Amino acid sequence: MIPGRADQREDMVPIFEFECGKCGNRFEELVPSSCQEVECPACGSLDTRKQISPFSSMSGWKSGGSGCSSGGG
């Protein structure tokens, strides 16, 4: 956080990885939480899917479940 910026968290826009269902293009996009559809920059299709990024799966962030096994140890 930047000192003196109490509202910094609200200004953050996360970056996500996407794959286009039409042309197969993989790309990254800054996506505000209010955004419902993301357009492929290569072909313009809205048939895009958010991908699981290695960073989010290793950073401890969880969305509905975790990718960690619950084995003994």
Quick: pLDDT tens for 13-66: 788 899 999 999 999 998 887 778 999 999 999 999 999 766 554 444 444 433
* Residue burial 39-61, b: 16+ Cβ < 10 Å; e: rest: ebeeeeeeebeeeeeeebeeeee
Q: How far is CA 24 from CA 16, 46, 48, in A?
A: 16, 12, 9
User: Model pTM greater than 0.85?
Assistant: no
Q: Does residue 9 register a pLDDT over 90?
A: no
Assigned CATH class of 13-53: mainly beta
**Residue 16: strand pairing partners:** 29
* Cα–Cα distance, 33 to 12 (Å, whole number): 10
* Cα–Cα distance, 17 to 27 (Å, whole number): 6
